[in-house]
Structure 1
Amino acid sequence: MKFLSLLSILTVFAGLANATNDFVTYPEPLKAPVTLFETKQGSLNTLGNYQGKVTILNFWATWCKPCVVEMPSLNRLQGLYRSKGLAVIPLVGSDADVSKVRSFYRRYKLRELDYYIDNENITSQSYQVSGIPVSFIFNKDGKLVAFADGSINWMSQENKDFIEKLLAE
């Protein structure tokens, strides 16, 4: 609960400080809430497995129109920066129909992205996700540094500059 109160307060202040891209940044990096999700192969995974990488945790769904708009640019971002240390985790809810997710990936040619399942919605509850798409951005130390609420163009120059800055740290 302390984390959520702190997150709410920092979100207000961060929103006042940042107007250069689609991200709300935190004045100081925050410890990441609990994450537990499944890979498409069925093994359990956590954000801790991505230490040393800039990580984007993106909550989305196949039926979400803003998500449909956002996913191709997120796919291109992953393709552009994977070799430089970017990890994108597109996370669908535990009630998602995996066959629809696979079809969605084929239809939109999302070849750079894997998909992950929010096992029992543990991660979305930890982050208090109430709407999608929403993305949380973590630095190489696994600390929460920013979030983006709503569909964004990940390939805009400002957003790429932000990711490149994190990759260079």
Structure 2
Amino acid sequence: MSRRGTIAGGVAGLVLLLAAGAAWWTQQTPEGRPPLGGAVASFVLADRTEPAPEITFSDAAGNTLRLADFKGKVVLVNLWATWCAPCVKEMPALDRLQAKLGGPDFAVLALSIDREGLAKVQPFFAQNKIAALAAYLDPAGRSPALFGARGLPTTLLIGRDGTVIGRQEGSAAWDEEAAIRLMRYYLDLGKAKSA
């Protein structure tokens, strides 16, 4: 091999090494771009920062809640219904995500738009062994229009400050490592900003 070929091969190897390092750095630090791939490859980041719409809904006890009640947490808002086949398919993954990450810093807010409200959602949760998710209800079905949802399921990630980070149209495997890495990215980002 000529000296030119050796140098070109060395440069190509260095470029690959730097690219791999950049990809690792991006996925590991809040300063980099959020990790989008695998289960969340079709997650679309918001073009600009804007506050989430002010929606109201109820919990299983009939209490009226607002999205603002979750401020300070990273919230994954999932708009769904029991009659929506892709919604039904992804609900166990959302339940596992809530079981894994749910707490004072993170919540999955699975917001049902079933007109029958709790009478429809509660048996669905029992039948499908959904145990970690709380039942949140919007039987009037106002939230999809307020969020600009074009169909169900639509899932929006809301930052601790109440702004929309991005959205996923259609179902996703929310309990897979790629999705968990995306949630942790924004959980860590919030901690870094408050420190």
Instruction: Report if TM-score (shorter chain) is over 0.5.
Output: yes
Dislocated runs of 4+, deviation >4 Å: none
Structure 1 residues 125 and 48: alpha-carbon distance in aligned structure 2, compared to 1, 3 A threshold? same
2-side partners of 1:31 and 1:97: how far apart? 27
Q: What is the SS of the residue equivalent to 1:99?
A: helix
Which residue among 103, 116, 119 is the counterpart of 2:136?
116
Q: What is the SS of the residue equivalent to 2:125?
A: helix
CA deviation string 1:65-113 (max 9, x = no partner): 1111100000000010013611111111261342221111011111100
AA matched with 1:52: G
1-side partners of 2:107 and 2:51: how far apart? 18
Q: What is the SS of the residue equivalent to 2:142?
A: helix
Aligned twin of 1:37: 57
1-side partners of 2:99 and 2:62: how far apart? 23
Map 1:1-169 → 2, pairs under 5 A: 20=37, 21-83=41-103, 85-93=105-113, 95-118=115-138, 120-169=140-189
More strand by share: 1
Q: What is the SS of the residue equivalent to 1:91?
A: strand
AA matched with 2:174: W
Work out the percentage of aligned pairs sharing the same amino acid: 29
Aligned twin of 2:193: none
Structure 1 residues 158 and 67: alpha-carbon distance in aligned structure 2, compared to 1, 3 A threshold? same
1-side partners of 2:59 and 2:68: how far apart? 14
CA deviation string 1:121-151 (max 9, x = no partner): 3322211333111111101111100111001
Structure 1 residues 102 and 119: alpha-carbon distance in aligned structure 2, compared to 1, 3 A threshold? closer
RMSD: 1.9
1-side partners of 2:93 and 2:135: how far apart? 15
Structure 1 residues 87 and 79: alpha-carbon distance in aligned structure 2, compared to 1, 3 A threshold? same
Give the TM-score of the pair, scaled to structure 1. 0.83
2-side partners of 1:119 and 1:103: how far apart? 16
Equivalent residues, number = 153
Q: What is the SS of the residue equivalent to 2:88?
A: helix
- Please, which moves more after superposition, 138-147 or 121-130? 121-130
Give the TM-score of the pair, scaled to structure 2. 0.72
2-side partners of 1:22 and 1:74: how far apart? 17
Larger radius of gyration: 2
Contact 1:118 1:124 (C-alpha < 8 Å) held by counterparts? no
